[in-house]
Structure formats: C-alpha cells, structure tokens
Amino acid sequence: MSPQVLRRRDPTVGSGLRAVLSAQEKGASAFPIPSPPKDTIVVKAAWDSFLLESFTAGDAWELGHLLYARLLPFSTQKPTLISIALANGQVLFQSAVGSGTTLDNETWVQRKRNTVLRFGTSTWFQHCKYAGDEEAFRLMFAMSPEQAEKYAIHGGGVPIRVQGVEGIVAIVVVSGLKPHEDHGVIVDVINNNWE
C-alpha cells in the first residue's frame, strides 16, 4: 500500500506564527505529547516518515512555528531546539524554545540529522530496531567509536519526503525532551496540521 500524500490543512501564510502568538497570549496548557510505539512494524507504518504533496521553505517556516507553539508550554522546564533542514544541509528553520538550550542540543540535532540521511528512516525507528543499544548499532555497521559519535539512535529526527521526488527532501529534528517526546511532538504536530 502506498503511503498517504499529505497537504497542509491551513495553507494560509502565517498560520504557524498565529499559533505561536496565540500560545503566548493565552498561556497555552502543556497537554501530553503522544508516545510513539516501540514495535518497528507499527513505527514504520505511521510514525517513521511523512510523504507530503510539497515541502517549500514556506512549509518549513510554518511547521517550525507550529512545533514552537506546541512546545512553548513545556519551555520553562524543558528548553528545546527545533531544526528543519533540507537533505543538502541547508537549514530552513531553527529556533530554541525557552531559555537554556546549549551547544549540546545543536550536536544532537546534527547527529539525528546524520542518522536520518544515512539510513533513510526516523531516529525513533533506529532506536526501536536496536532496542536503544548504541553498541549493537555501532557494531552492526562496523563503525569505530569515533564514527558512531556522528549518529544518534534516539527519537527526534524525522524524514520528510515529497510526492514524485526520489529520496529524503528534508529532516525535522527536535532536541531537548525525552527521546520519545522529541519524536512524538513532531509526529503529533504534522498529524494535526497536515491531512
């Protein structure tokens, strides 16, 4: 069965920014982030990647702001970093949500992005495939410890594909929450704003 091709529910420019402003003005509540499944078959079916009708810089801007609005209520306890980049490495959107992110968050973003690009799957899928065992992951690909440091098999890195385009077009990364929350928030925001 072919994956469903999704398009933005609200195609108007600035809908993501309006969501951020609304979250700031109303003091949005932190409602729970859904936890992804751990079964690789289930993850692959609905939690691994997204096939979109299109993905432009404008779409990245909207998605980034929608993620920001969703994460804002958590920002006082769990500052996060959102990063959306094209497969060629060009960053289209990046923002810290809350005060307290560090250079370490940027390192995690790069490691998650590297994993998505190399293996063509989400970092959560890789986490589930290797039961979170980084050593088993490293040995499977005969990587030295130094090579393995370039990859992360934790949640929070999701590939974006576009209908009619071969390969991954972009990577959405969240860093700062628990691994399952980093992944769950991306899937939740896309599922609620694309149809």
Confidence of residue 142 (pLDDT cuts 50, 70, 90): very high
For residue 117, is pLDDT > 60? Answer: yes
CA distance 81 to 78: 10
Sheet of 5-6: strands edge to edge? 5-6, 50-52, 157-162, 170-175, 80-86, 91-97
Angstrom distance (rounded) from CA 173 to CA 39: 21
Q: What's the pLDDT score for residue 64?
A: 98
Range of the domain at 162: 5-24+31-193
Give the mean model confidence (pLDDT) for residues 59-75: 96
Query: How many domains does the chain divide into?
Result: 1
Residue 165 contacts residue 56 (beta carbons within 8 Å): no
List, for residues 3-57, the tens digit of each pLDDT value.
Answer: 899 999 998 889 999 999 888 887 767 889 999 999 999 999 999 999 999 999 9
| Mean pLDDT, rounded, of the chain | 95
Percent with pLDDT over 90 in the chain: 90
Please give the model's pTM, rounded to 2 decimal places. Answer: 0.95
Determine the pLDDT at residue 35: 95
Q: Does 2 have pLDDT greater than 90?
A: no
CA distance readout (Å), 191 to 4, 45, 143, 168 = 12, 14, 35, 19
Task: Over range 157-165, report the average pLDDT.
Answer: 98
Whether residue 117 contacts residue 150, with contact meaning beta carbons closer than 8 Å, is answered with no
CB neighbours (10 Å) of residue 148?
A: 17
The pair of structure tokens assigned to 105 is 């968050």
pLDDT score recorded for residue 171: 98
Q: Average pLDDT, stretch 136-158?
A: 97
- 175 DSSP 8-state letter: E
Longest dimension (CA), the chain: 51
Report the CATH number that the domain containing residue 135 is assigned in CATH.
3.30.450.150
Mean pLDDT, residues 97-124:
96
